[in-house]
Every structure is written in C-alpha cells, then in structure tokens.
Amino acid sequence: MAGGKKSQLSGPAPSSRTLVIDNGANTIKAGFASEDNEPRIIPNCIARDRHRKTFVGSELDKCKDFGEIAFRRPVEKGYIVNWEAQKEIWDREFFDEKAPQKCDPADARLVLAEHSNSLPALQTHCDQMVFEEFGFASYCRGPGPALNAYNDVQAIFQTPRPPETVVEYPAEVMLVVDSGYSHTTVTPVLQGRPLHQAVRRLDVGGKLMTNYLTRLLSVRHFDMRNDTYVVNEMKEAACYISLDFKGDLEKTWKGTRGERRLDYLSGAGIAKDYVLPDSHTRFHGVVREYEPGVSAKARKGAVSTEDVLTLRNERFVVPELLFHPSDIGMHQPGLGDLVMQSLSELPIGLWPGLLANIVVVGGNALFENFIQRLQTEVLQRVPDACIVRVARAQDPIACTWVGAANFARHAHVETLAVTKQEYEEHGSAWVARKFALGLGVDCDPTG
C-alpha cells in the first residue's frame, strides 16, 4: 500500500521538506522533520492587551504586560474550529515572506497531529484548508497521542538495555495519557496504531483548572477573572498534585471559630505566598515561602507596594480535579477510573503490556507528583499481581511533536500520506476515510 509513492509517478516530485505541526489549543509545536530535533513553541492565539495592542502567535513574546490580556483562540476543545484565526497565525509563522519557519507548501509535506474523536466536519475543513488554501503537496493527519509511539519509550522508563540497542519505532505497546489545555485522554497504542474503541476522554484540562483557580481566588482574595493569564502562571508555578489529599486539607484548614490551628498559622509547609506581577517592574509572578502576615499587610498597603496572596488548599485542590472531577459537580470519572474504562474495552491479555508502559504527556504532566499519584490510582484498581509503570516524557509538551517528527521520517508516513493530486481526484471524503482507517495491520510493522 504505497499510495503516496505510486501516484507521485504522475504527480509532482516528492516533497523535499516535511513541516510537522502539533496544533494545540494553547501552543503550536512546529518544526521541520529533516532539520529540527525539537519544535518551536508558538502561542496559538491572537491576544489583545489592555492598551489595545494586538499580538498574533509568537508576537506574544514581545508582550510584557499581561494584566487583563484577552485571547482569541482558533482551537476549541482541542480541535481547530476557527480557521480565520488559525490561518492568520499559520500564515505569519510559516507562509509569509518573513515567517520565522518559512515553508513553501507546494514543495512540502505537512504532518499534522490532531486529537482523536474530532467531528467529521472539522476534519474536512482542515483537509480542505491544507490542500485548497495552503496547497501542500502532500499531507498526513494523524492522532497525536498515538504518534508518541514513535518516541524512544523505553528510554522514558529508563529500562535497562545494552547500549548498542537500536531503537525501533513504533513502540510495541503503550498507554498514552495526554493531559493538555482542553482535556485529558487515555489512548492504548499497539505498534503505533491507536486502539480507537478504547480511547477515553476526561473533559478536565489546563483551561478548566486555571478557571477553577481563578474562581477560588476571586471568592477568597480578589477578583482575577480578567487575569487568567496571570492565574495560569500562578497555577503552573504553585499547584501540585497531593499524595495525601485528606491530610493536606486538614493542614490547611483554619480551624473553628476563634481558634486558629497551629498548622494554619505556620503554613505547615503547604502555604506559599505568591507575589503578583505589578506590570511596572515585575511582569511575572513569583512564588515565595509563606511568611505569616505578609499578605494581610500587603493587602492593607501599609508596608509594601507588593500584591501578595497566600495560597493554601488552592495549591492542590485545583489539579485534584484530574482525579476527582466530581469535586466541582462534574459527572465524569477521574483519571484512575478513566484508565480502567479504557482497559475494560480490551482483552485482558493486553493489560500487562499497557499497564507497564503508561506514558504521560501534555503540559499538566508537569504538575509535581502527577506520575506518583496516577500510579497509586491505577494500582488501587488493578489485580495485585499487575506491574504498573508510569513515566513522564522527558519533555511532555514537545514529545508528541518529537513522535510526529520521527513518524514523518519513518516509512509509515508513506502509507498514510495523501498527495494534493489524490485529493483533487478523489475528494475530501476519500481523504477523511483514509486517515480514519489509519495504518491498518497489513503494512510491515518494522516499515
């Protein structure tokens, strides 16, 4: 099934470069398979600050004052929804004369990582844009989580092996937990093929957690609803996943009326002070050790010009939503149950391989203790004899891109890629079916 190769006899010459894009809701990860070992991270938004200055994509790097900054995002729920905005960002980053990663689509292949379970209409829009507007010579759209199988998975687990071992892609078996801005998904992957029937999603991601922290702060400290950028930085810097939720909640309770608990007064190692940016001298917030009374004084404006707030249970109840979405009334299972729902779709003979190779990717993997907590949650739910190994990719934000780039260099890409000519001959429905079928089983597993 060398569809791409065959038609190139009559079509254009084989494309010389492959642009690899992992088009996330928060950031785009982009680079050329032939030249780059790591992607450029591009904010996937059009932003407007309080001085009404607009920033498109990577222009946001020039922004200093993020107070009250507003965002327009082309990607919603993980999928490209608004192409007017997405095209503007892609144009400026890839296609314009002065684009930082200038690419001539007519002489290039695009490998685009997408989230599973998209809507057919959105996939069609994407395919139409790629061929009819940008005019890529060749194109392949594939599920991002599964592309992680084209990473050196055993290196992630630090599995002992002889140094001369040649890494073969894709990995035989792995369970990918992808926790990003829009949601968290569980994807069992066999030989690079996602087992679609067992893909499961939890609608908790970085956005919801930032919004939740924003709400908690607005109730307890001051209104930050127009400062989600600031809150997001605070979340990334100060939140952690608790390994003892009940214990940590006890330690952060003030106590009953008139009787402040010692742990509350001392901070018990959990409380932290967060110094907010002031948009004059400090453009990013800073976490500080808790100093009793500092935030109260700061609020009165008596001693300091700093805005300081003390974070207590906010530090861990926010990422706790990954494991207990019902804490905010969401009727969805936590990540431990989600993994089990995925496994329950599969023959039990596959469980040992999947459970021993759980890889966590996506920005939320950076929360302290994510790996340990997920391991505990899964261990609680599987038979005692099961070996459960959970690991975080070295760079959880870039690793889907790295996998996609390895895929773009692998023979498998030829099986899946579609040429512009094929698109023009067979139409977008044919292209959509081809991508939905994926690699199938019959192409040689080693390529």
Partner 1 sequence: MNNFGVIEVAGGKTTRAPGWAYVPDVGPSPAQALQPTNRKGRAARNQAGPSAADVSARQDAKIRKELEALDRDTNKDVNIPIPPKVGGSRAQTNKHTPNVRKILQSQKTFANYLDDYQALLALAETNPAAAAALNPANAAPPKAAPPSTARNSPAPPPPEPKSTAASKRSAAAAKRAAAKEAKEAEEAAAAKAKAEAKPKAPEPLAESKDEDPPQSYPPDGTILPAYQKPPPPAHPSDNDPLLVSRIPPFPSDGELRALMTAPPLSYLEARGTWGGEETGYPTRVFCEVCGYWGRVRCMKCGARVCALDCLEMHKAECVTRYGL
Site for partner 1, residues 310 to 349, rule: CB under 8 A: 312-314, 317, 324, 326-333, 337-338, 341, 346-349
Q: 406-435: which residues touch partner 1 (CB under 8 A)?
A: 418, 422-430, 432-434
Q: 113-172: which residues touch partner 1 (CB under 8 A)?
A: 116-125, 128-129, 131-133, 143, 172
* Residue number, 157 or 351, with CB nearest to partner 1: 351
Q: 24-53: which residues touch partner 1 (CB under 8 A)?
A: 46-48
Is 220 a residue that touches partner 1 (CB under 8 A)?
yes
Q: 99-118: which residues touch partner 1 (CB under 8 A)?
A: 116-118
Structure-token pair, residue 396: 């959880």
Is 190 a residue that touches partner 1 (CB under 8 A)?
yes
Find out whether 65 and 50 touch, Cβ atoms under 8 Å: yes
Per-residue interface string for the shown chain with partner 1, residues 259-278, x marking contact by CB under 8 A: x-------------------
* Residue number, 302 or 385, with CB nearest to partner 1: 385
Rounded to a whole number of angstroms, the CA Rg of the chain reads 24
Of the candidate spans 9-17, 250-258, 279-287, 402-410, the one that interacts with partner 1 by CB under 8 A turns out to be 250-258
* Residue number, 39 or 78, with CB nearest to partner 1: 78
Q: How far apart are the first and last CA of the chain?
A: 12
Q: How far apart are CA 253 and CA 251, in angstroms?
A: 6
> Which run of H or E residues covers position 351?
helix 351-355
In angstroms, the Cα distances linking 302 to 32, 239, 272 are 54, 29, 21
* Residue number, 337 or 395, with CB nearest to partner 1: 337
Smallest distance, Å, CB 156 to partner 1?
A: 19
* Residue number, 220 or 284, with CB nearest to partner 1: 220
> Which run of H or E residues covers position 373?
helix 370-379
Q: How far apart are CA 217 and CA 233, in angstroms?
A: 14
Of the candidate spans 3-11, 147-155, 233-241, 294-302, the one that interacts with partner 1 by CB under 8 A turns out to be 3-11
Q: How far apart are CA 185 and CA 115, in angstroms?
A: 9
Q: How far apart are CA 266 and CA 289, in angstroms?
A: 11
Is 254 a residue that touches partner 1 (CB under 8 A)?
yes
DSSP string covering 17-34: EEEEEEE-SSEEEEEETT
